[in-house]
């Protein structure tokens, strides 16, 4: 059985929306990689593979889980800035950041 899972990840450039999208895409890509590793590992174990023959795959799967967690954290932190962006959008002509925060 062959599984084809192709994911496109856009580079995060240009601002908050693209950075959030990048973090989300990367987390999803890590999840897909984790799932494919899990399926492959289960198949290998079903056919008697174990020990050092599967250790690298197990470590790679764990690394993908850790990377997914970090990208989700990145996404959450960036989403916390959305209200700031919404306030700027709701107040056209309010000035640049430096003048608005000079209280």
The pTM (predicted TM-score) of the whole model is 0.81
Residue 20 belongs to some domain of the structure: yes
Question: What is the spatial distance between Cα 101 and Cα 103, in angstroms, rounded to a whole number?
Answer: 6
What's the mean pLDDT in 7-29? 87
Q: Which has more confidence, 14 or 15?
A: 15
Residue 56 belongs to some domain of the structure: yes
Residue 8 belongs to some domain of the structure: no
Q: What is the mean pLDDT of the chain?
A: 90
Give residue 74's pLDDT. 97
Enter the DSSP assignment of 91.
Answer: S
Residue 39 belongs to some domain of the structure: yes
Question: What is the spatial distance between Cα 74 and Cα 16, in angstroms, rounded to a whole number?
Answer: 11
What's the mean pLDDT in 2-23? 79
Confidence band (pLDDT; 50, 70, 90) for 87? confident
Give residue 19's pLDDT. 94
Residue 62 belongs to some domain of the structure: yes
Between the CA of residue 83 and those of 14, 16, 73, 79, 89, what are the distances in Å?
Answer: 18, 11, 18, 8, 10
Q: Shortest CA distance to 25 belongs to which of 83, 71, 87, 89? A: 71
pLDDT tops 70 at residue 2: no
Backbone angles phi, psi at 86, to 5 degrees: -65, -40
Please count the structural domains in the chain: 1
Domain range holding 55? 16-100
Residue 79 belongs to some domain of the structure: yes
């Amino acid at each position: 059985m062959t599984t084809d899972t192709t994911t496109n990840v856009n580079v995060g450039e240009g601002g908050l929306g693209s950075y959030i999208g990048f973090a989300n895409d990367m987390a999803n890509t890590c999840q897909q990689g984790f799932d494919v590793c899990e399926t492959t590992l289960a198949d290998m174990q079903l056919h008697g593979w174990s020990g050092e023959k599967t250790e690298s795959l197990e470590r790679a799967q764990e690394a993908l889980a850790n990377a997914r967690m970090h990208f989700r954290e990145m996404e959450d932190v960036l989403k916390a800035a959305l209200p700031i962006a919404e306030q700027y959008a709701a107040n056209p002509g309010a000035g640049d950041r430096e003048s608005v925060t000079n209280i």
